[in-house]
Structure 1
């Protein structure tokens, strides 16, 4: 059986993990990112300003994890967005498309009962490592 390689990513430029999990795990050429929320790493509090501010901060936090893995938003192939209120979908989308600009990743979006610290949004992702050739 072929062996697999595993690497853990925990950038110090992001808020600390809120439990026993890794911020991201790379197995061979796939990176699995844990859900990120709009917590400001300088205060460890949710970014004030509602869904727009929290979505920006969540995606900035995701960008820091991607950067530590040596990749970018363009390497993301799947996201799952968890909203405290599905009515925030439009506002979240306006921010989301500032980070994912073309060749969008596949995505699922759900309303959830509650996030850690009453966050309005949480986003998890799967990314691949390497040059992506569109066909």
Structure 2
């Protein structure tokens, strides 16, 4: 059974046709997360460290909503870009 995961504590997919995550059985597939504040939708941080922290906080919130935790993650793909654009 497929379950759509959504939390107000993470980046929202406003205007986009995707879910924050999908849970199938005990597996959670989380959509890409960026350094966006869940309340304002605005980019957070001026440094890579600040932006990475916000993206990971978004990921953590989504995992917690699904009943999982960061310690349960088995694979992550990271895309780095300059000036907010992927290269």
Equivalent of residue 66 in structure 2, options 55, 64, 69 = 69
Higher share in strand: 1
Partner residue in 2 for 1:56 = 53
Provide TM-score, normalisation by structure 2: 0.88
Number of residue-to-residue matches in the alignment: 85
Partner residue in 2 for 1:13 = 9
Q: Unpaired runs of 5+ in structure 1?
A: 86-113, 121-135
Partner residue in 1 for 2:32 = 35
Alignment of 1:41-120 (within 5 A): 41-85=38-82, 118=84
- Tell me which of the two structures has the higher relative contact order, counting C-alpha pairs closer than 8 angstroms and 6 or more residues apart: 1
Provide TM-score, normalisation by structure 1: 0.58
- Higher Cα radius of gyration: 1
Moved over 6 A (4+): none
- Deviation readout 1:55-79 (Å, 9 max, x if unpaired): 0000000000000011100110000
Cα offset, 1:21, TM superposition: 0.5
Alpha-carbon RMSD: 1.7
Q: Unpaired runs of 5+ in structure 2?
A: none
